[in-house]
Amino acid sequence: MKRLFLICFLACFFQQVYSQTTDEQLAYQYYQNKQYDKAIVYYEKVFPKKPSPDNYHYYLDCLLHTKDYKTAEKIIKKELKQEPENSILLVDEGMLYKLEGNDKQTKDAFAKAIQKLPADRDKVLELGKAFMDEKEFDYALQTYNQGKKLLGDSYPFVSEIGAVYKAQGNTAAMVDSYLETLALSPTFIQYVQDALQLSVGNYADETQNTIVKTELLKYIQRYPDKDVYSELLIWMLLQLKDYPNALVQVKALDRRKNEGGYRLMTFASTCVTAGAYDPAIQAYQYVIARGPKGDNYAQAKIAQLNVMYLKLTNGGTYTQDELAGLETKYNQALSELSKTDASISLMQQLAKLEGFYLHHDSIAIALMQEAVNMPGTSPQTQARCRMELADLMLLDGQTWEASLLYSKVEQGFKEEPIGDEAKFKNATIYYYTGNFKWAQAELNILRSATTKLIANDAMALSLVVSDNTQDSAMEPALLLFAHVQLLDFENYEDSVSILLDSVYNISGTTTLKEEVLMQRASVAEKKGDYQKALGYYSDEQTVYPDGMLPDKALYLSAKLEDTKLHDEKKAAELYKQLILKYPGSFYIEETRDRYRQLVKDDAPPVN
């Protein structure tokens, strides 16, 4: 009998639980469909049994939508009795009175909610959000200001107060609130930078940029002893890519704080990354001008020459006189700093200039042999010098001597990136010399290289070889193209341009025609003819949409717009196209990362 009773009891219990669950699901479904009358029928049954925060919110929302204000007031009052310290309930009460047109009671409820706030950051944030959700911006502002009073300097509600002003469209007040916070505590500069991120820069409205800059200058004048505002101005100018004016501020701050030029070194590095070579050269010159006894003198001298090299060679247009002038500067620096392991990077750069641009092969080779034999260098540095010496020997026509050096590096650094690189360079020697079977054998091994870039390059070249050696009649075109790529490696771009037409005319495969098109784009980029390069990249995408290289062409177009033409909006659009059209591309990870940097949080995510 007892067992039968227990079974009946459990059956009734589970029936009630099932019924309650079903009622709750139906209530929520009607609520989602905005069928508030029908939802209320079920919430009237569910809420007394399960008064969860969600059910309370949905039930109250249904009552307000159906204008059943009396019932709404009853459940709010009941909840307040149970949770008298819950300020969010007072917001609900205030909104109810507002719907009824009772302004005084609305103000009283909202004021009471703020008065009840404890010195608890989470509670302040909850109440502020509740007011923001209801678009009660003035009360949200009062909430955060009350929070500042309660918590002191431990949490200044910087981004939250700024968000209120932003929602109101009051950019000046938003910026002023951020800057006033820094007057109290400079340690919150990162908070301020994060909060201002979308209000400054090339993606921000020009009016916003002007307001931020104007407010910053006011604070610099008001608080001349607070360096934090100068630091923030430098940050903003960098967002705007206004490197010349940023340099002025960096110099002033360096002098004021007597920092020995370290800030200039960091600034110059930022400029180089952005392709702003002139401000970087000027920043390094500032450090050099402090004299040989100054901090960072040698590093600045070496770095400045590196930037000069990049500016000249990356620009694509240079004269022999300019190359010779840079050669003189390198030799003067080496004479001053001496040829030691500390100046080995100078020797490497000068050797590239002598070999690949001035075509003084013997001078370049002798310089790199000195670097290889330099005492005190690390095994990795010595290996890199051997690689560069091998490059110069290949340039000089010493093909097999170059191959032996690559092999030595490969053997000494197996399973390491530089070892894979050496093996790949050796495979290209076989390729350049027409030994396609050996080249392909080595390239196939490299498909599983630890370095993803090497593996991808090896796979791409292997496909070109395999597609164009299936028939002996195809090989002359591939042999000529390999010779063209060797000439490109040697920087004989005029010869490359002439021979590419011949390769295209005799090539029998689509893959080789695609490679020719991409090689033309590469030559145009090297010569600084960026619009012509973009045209070739566009042709690859339209002529060969199902080919092997349209994703690479799109990626290189985006990168050219980004790093050479400095048009971030065009670059972002091209990166976005790549993400959408070629989600499996080798370039997808780098593309996603750069796209996020360019659009910040300004655009919807692209999956």
Q: What is the mean pLDDT of residues 506-531?
A: 94
Amino acid 294: pLDDT: 83
Domain spans, the chain: 164-240
Task: Look at residue 523 and tell me whether its pLDDT is greater than 80.
Answer: yes
More confident residue, 602 or 78: 78
Task: Look at residue 445 and tell me whether its pLDDT is greater than 50.
Answer: yes
**Confidence bin at 384 (pLDDT 50/70/90):** very high
Question: 7-11, 42-46, 412-416, 490-494: lowest mean pLDDT where?
Answer: 7-11
The alpha carbon dihedral of 202, 204, 205, 208 has a sign of negative
**Confidence bin at 321 (pLDDT 50/70/90):** very high
Amino acid 68: pLDDT: 92
Measured torsion, CA atoms of residues 246, 249, 255, 260, in degrees rounded to the nearest 10:
-20
Amino acid 14: pLDDT: 39
Interatomic CA distance for residues 48 and 51, integer angstroms: 6
**Confidence bin at 570 (pLDDT 50/70/90):** very high
Amino acid 317: pLDDT: 81
Q: At what angle do helices 277-288 and 243-257 cross, to 10 degrees?
A: 20
Contact (Cβ atoms closer than 8 angstroms) between residue 232 and residue 213: no
Tokens of 329: 């500067």
Q: What amino acid occupies position 332?
A: Q
Amino acid 89: pLDDT: 93
Question: 9-23, 91-105, 344-358, 550-564: lowest mean pLDDT where?
Answer: 9-23
Judging by beta carbons within 10 Å of its beta carbon (0-12, 13-18, 19+), is residue 329 exposed, middle or buried? middle
CA atoms within 13 A on the CB side of 168: 19
DSSP 41-75: HHHHHHHHH---HHHHHHHHHHHHHTT-HHHHHHH
Q: What is the mean pLDDT of residues 258-284?
A: 94
The alpha carbon dihedral of 59, 64, 70, 75 has a sign of positive
Q: What is the mean pLDDT of residues 82-111?
A: 93
Amino acid 197: pLDDT: 80
Q: What amino acid occupies position 605?
A: P
Q: What amino acid occupies position 68?
A: D
Amino acid 385: pLDDT: 97
Amino acid 30: pLDDT: 85
Amino acid 267: pLDDT: 97
Q: What amino acid occupies position 364?
A: A
Task: Count how many residues are written for the chain.
Answer: 607
Residue with tokens 């920092």: 259
Contact (Cβ atoms closer than 8 angstroms) between residue 193 and residue 175: no
Task: Look at residue 13 and tell me whether its pLDDT is greater than 50.
Answer: no
Q: What is the mean pLDDT of residues 436-457?
A: 90
Task: Look at residue 15 and tell me whether its pLDDT is greater than 50.
Answer: no
Question: 152-156, 517-521, 602-606: lowest mean pLDDT where?
Answer: 602-606
Q: What is the mean pLDDT of residues 291-305?
A: 92
Q: What is the mean pLDDT of residues 407-434?
A: 95
Amino acid 349: pLDDT: 96
Interatomic CA distance for residues 399 and 324, integer angstroms: 27
Q: How far is CA 413 from the centre of its chain?
A: 32
Amino acid 18: pLDDT: 41
Amino acid 449: pLDDT: 81
Average pLDDT, the chain: 90
Amino acid 447: pLDDT: 86
**pLDDT tens-digit series, residues 187-238:** 889 888 888 887 777 666 788 888 888 999 999 999 998 999 999 999 999 9
**Confidence bin at 27 (pLDDT 50/70/90):** confident
Q: What is the mean pLDDT of residues 42-62?
A: 89
Amino acid 21: pLDDT: 56
Contact residues for 60 (Cβ-Cβ < 8 A; gap 6+): 72, 75, 76, 92
Amino acid 114: pLDDT: 94
Amino acid 9: pLDDT: 43
Amino acid 301: pLDDT: 96
Task: Look at residue 185 and tell me whether its pLDDT is greater than 90.
Answer: no
Name the phi and psi angles at 74, rounded to 5.
-60, -45
Residue with tokens 């490059």: 391
Nearest CA among 337, 333, 338, 336 for reference residue 350: 333
Determine if the pTM surpasses 0.85.
Answer: no
Q: How far apart are the first and last CA of the chain?
A: 63
Question: 75-84, 182-191, 508-517, 570-579: lowest mean pLDDT where?
Answer: 182-191
Measured torsion, CA atoms of residues 93, 94, 98, 100, in degrees rounded to the nearest 10:
30
